[in-house]
Amino acid sequence: MTKTLRISYCTELVCGRVLATVREALAVAPALSEIRTTVVRVSEPDGYGRRQPECLLAVTFDRQALSNVDWQTATAARIVNDSTADLHNRQTPTMACGHWT
């Protein structure tokens, strides 16, 4: 598997898990109009062997924007990119699944 394909799969995995969690939260809390969430992981060791938390994704979802999504055809990454009010993501190759701890 190429590095590009591995990163693509990992991105879909992370975005899919985030969307599943967000949809579940909106289902059990109908009064919520928006949800803010982050995806954090432990970094690779630096030159001194220290590992630090790093944010891969920080996003705000609006209930109304998600209600109009075509869930059957859109990919998870496309939904995250198109339906978020505030998106901050880490765009580096270290997001590859092989590097997740």
pLDDT at 93 over 50: no
- Between these two residues, 11 and 100, which has the higher pLDDT value? 11
Instruction: From 20, 15, 12, select the one nearest 87 (Cα to Cα).
Output: 15
Write the burial class of residue 14 (CB in 10 Å: 0-12 exposed, 13-18 middle, 19+ buried): buried
- Summarised one tens digit per residue, pLDDT across range 39-83 is 998 988 989 999 999 888 889 999 999 999 999 999 999 999 888
DSSP for 57-78?
Answer: EEEEEEHHHHHT--TTTS-HHH
- Summarised one tens digit per residue, pLDDT across range 27-47 is 999 999 999 999 998 988 989
- Between these two residues, 21 and 5, which has the higher pLDDT value? 21
